[in-house]
Amino acid sequence: MLNVRAMAIGLAVTVIVVDQATKAMARGNLEDVVNLTSFIALRLGFNPGVTFGLFAGSGDMGRWVLSIVSLLIIAVLSIWAWRTRRPLLAAGLSLMVGGALGNLLDRLRFGHVTDFIDLHWGDAHWPTFNLADAAIVCGIGLLLLASRSGAEPGTSSPTIEPTVR
């Protein structure tokens, strides 16, 4: 159990550190678009909202509401990660916690989240994102995988299974 907890904490901290470092490098060095491949570019952007720019026009009050909601979600995911004995589940939850904390730090410090990864196909662009966003998506993927793998060690029922009454 201690090893799972240590892994979870280490993974979340690693995501936060790498996310904040790459965002700082992007803010300090990305003046123009840098094309890495025909479909990946580095393009500096700032998102005051959440995913896909939702709530971007909600002003300062929206910033604080989003921050409080983020903290509540981070708290729930952290408690879940702390209690599980399943490494795959703990890793997924830790990626989500680290990513959410990385974006929350941006929102609290700057009033927006720094984005810089631009995936595109010709003129069609996916919304610009950052490594925290990628960690959250990977964490959700691991959470889905963990939900298929069964129960916690020492229990008789799966931990992620909807209850039907």
Catalytically active residues are: 115, 133
How far is 129 from 89, CA to CA, in rounded Å? Answer: 24
- Beta strand 113-121 with 124-125 is antiparallel
E-strand ranges in 28-165 read: 34-35, 40-47, 113-121, 124-125
Cα 50 to chain centroid, rounded: 11
- Please give the order of strands across the beta sheet that includes 34-35: 34-35, 40-47, 113-121, 124-125
